[in-house]
Chains A and B, each alone.
Chain A
């Protein structure tokens, strides 16, 4: 089965992103496909390259980046939600005249159309949030 994943809560504050991570890992291990994960609302904060959790805790961003690298999962961060929350890639930072950018490896910024497209092209769309 082909799963699309929507994450709508932020990291550490809420378990949604952890549950989604465990679900995606289990689904891939079971032979299912997860072509894309879409990060929306505070979920966009998962993609920051600047989070430094204590060493004895999981690093949520690194977990996802590894998943993208190892399994080719497309990690898409909603541009409108990201810009509100100070999440910019290099191009957007330049375009907006900002001095820094913070989108971690394996994530990319794109539009809400990618969420709709994921709903159209997958068999099931799973939402992890409240």
Chain B
């Protein structure tokens, strides 16, 4: 790996609506993708709600930005870690999350899943492995 590539982790802990943190976090991820760093996203606590499918924000009058997560693969953001315990504590399973994939150009552009469900202990390892952590 090149010397000037750092491991960036964006930690998403808050629900997608109600506060602006989730949306403005995603804006950082999209801009940051242009810097060719090693990027991962983590979703824990209420942050796991950001990835749920069939979001409908019509009644609260704010933009539904959840489809943007499916575009992350095009920005070469392919590692979305979701904490298993956070899902379980909220009555959610992997089936409640959007399908998010990326195309592996080294493997005949095969579509591979971006979401990786990890335990709390594994999430700690993911965090320990980073150079820069941005928490939203």
Q: Show the binding face of A for B, using Cβ within 8 Å.
A: 6, 8, 40-41, 80-81, 111-113, 115-117, 119-120, 125, 127, 129
Contacts and interface: CB of A to CB of B under 8 A. Distances in A.
Interface of B: 4, 6, 8, 20-21, 24, 27-28, 31-32, 34-35, 37, 131-136
A112 B28 contact: yes
With most chain B CB atoms within 10 A of its CB, the pick from A111, A113, A117 is A113
Contacts, number: 47
Contact of B31 (A41, A113, A120, A129): A113
Nearest to B11: A127
Pairs of residues from A and B, 9 with the lowest C-beta to C-beta distance, nearest first: A112-B31, A119-B132, A116-B32, A116-B35, A125-B132, A112-B28, A120-B6, A113-B31, A127-B135
Contacts of B37: 116, 120
Q: Is the interface of B mostly helix, strand, loop or mixed?
A: mixed
6 contacts: A6-B134, A40-B28, A116-B8, A116-B35, A119-B6, A119-B131
Given A117-B35, A127-B133, 19 more contacts: A8-B21, A8-B136, A40-B24, A40-B28, A41-B20, A41-B21, A80-B27, A112-B28, A113-B35, A115-B28, A115-B134, A116-B31, A116-B32, A116-B35, A119-B8, A119-B132, A120-B6, A120-B37, A125-B133
Contacts of B8: 116, 119
A118 B24 CA distance: 18
Contact of B134 (A111, A113, A125): A125
Given A116-B31, A116-B37, A120-B37, A41 B134 contact: no
B132 A41 contact: no
Contact of A120 (B4, B24, B34): B4
A87 B8 CA distance: 28
Contacts of A41: 20-21, 24
Contacts of A116: 8, 28, 31-32, 35, 37
Contacts of A111: 31
Contacts of B34: 113
Contacts of A117: 35
Nearest to B5: A120
With most chain A CB atoms within 10 A of its CB, the pick from B20, B34, B132 is B132
B8 to A, nearest CB: 6
Contact of B32 (A8, A112, A129): A112
B24 A81 contact: yes
